Amino acid sequence: MSRYRGPRFKKIRRLGALPGLTSKRSRSESGPRSQPRSGKRSQYRIRLEEKQKLRFHYGLTERQLLRYVRIAGKAKGSTGQVLLQLLEMRLDNILFRLGMASTIPGARQLVNHRHVLVNGRIVDIPSYRCKPRDIITTRNEQRSKVLVQNSMDSVSHDELPKHLTLDSSQYKGVVNQIIDSKWVGLKINELLVVEYYSRQT
C-alpha cells in the first residue's frame, strides 16, 4: 500500500488531530466525527483507527509501519513504547518537531531534496534514525535557509520536546536523548496498534 496523498482534512475529520499531516486547521476542531448510527464501534475498528492515526501522522506506508512494529517487537521493553520511539526518532519527524518543517511531508521533501545535514553530512533518507548527540542543520545555501526559515515563521511555537534543542539563528537542532513517551507528538494508544498487528499474523 502506497503513502497517502489524498485529502488531508478527510482523515482528520475521521481520526482526530494529525499534526504531522497538515499545518492547516480544519473548520471543525471537535475531534473525530461522531460515531456511526449503528452503535458503538467494534474492537477491530477501534484498533484499526489507532493504527491509521499512526500511519497518517508519520506519513508511512503500510509496509513501513509493519516493519517498525516487527523491529519494536524484537527490542527490549514495551513494544508500543519502542515503536513510538522509533517513529519519533526518524529524521523527517525530528525536523517537524524542531519546527524546521511545518509538516512531516514537508520535512520529507526537505530531506529528499538534500537540504539537510546530520553531523555535517548530507542525509537524503527521511527514515534515517537519529541518535543522541546528532546535530541537524541546513546546507549553507540561501535556498535551504529560506525554506527552513519560512517553516519556522509559519508554525506555532509550542514547547519544544525535552529531547531536542533548537538554535533558530543557526538553523541547528540537537538531539539530546531518546524521546520520553510523554513528549510524543500524537495522542495515541500504541497498545491498540500492537494488538492490531498481533491479530493480523
CB-based contact 4:104 (threshold 8 Å) = no
56 SS3 class: helix
> Cα(67)–Cα(14) distance, rounded to whole angstroms?
25
Q: What is the mean pLDDT of the chain?
A: 84
Rg of the chain over Cα atoms, rounded to whole angstroms, equals: 17
Q: What's the confidence (pLDDT) of residue 92?
A: 96
Cβ contacts of 170 within 8 Å, gap of 6 or more:
137
> Cα(31)–Cα(15) distance, rounded to whole angstroms?
8
122 SS3 class: strand
Q: Of the given ranges (17-26, 46-55, 106-115, 184-193), which has the lowest mean pLDDT?
A: 17-26
CB-based contact 130:136 (threshold 8 Å) = yes
Nearest to 61 by CA among 125, 101, 1: 1
Q: Quick one: average pLDDT of 137-156?
A: 91
Question: 62-107, pLDDT tens digit by residue?
Answer: 999 999 999 999 999 999 999 999 999 999 999 999 999 999 999 9
> Cα(29)–Cα(44) distance, rounded to whole angstroms?
26
pLDDT at 119 over 50: yes
Q: pLDDT: is 200 or 6 the higher one?
A: 200
Question: 150-167, pLDDT tens digit by residue?
Answer: 989 887 666 788 999 999
Nearest to 106 by CA among 60, 59, 138: 59
CB-based contact 40:124 (threshold 8 Å) = no
pTM for the model: 0.83
Which domains, ranges and CATH numbers included, belong to the chain?
Answer: 8-87+186-198 (1.10.1050.10), 90-177 (3.10.290.10)
> Cα(89)–Cα(116) distance, rounded to whole angstroms?
15
Question: 19-42, pLDDT tens digit by residue?
Answer: 655 555 544 444 444 444 455 778
Q: pLDDT: is 161 or 121 the higher one?
A: 121
Pairing of strands 164-167, 121-122: unpaired
Q: What's the confidence (pLDDT) of residue 137?
A: 97
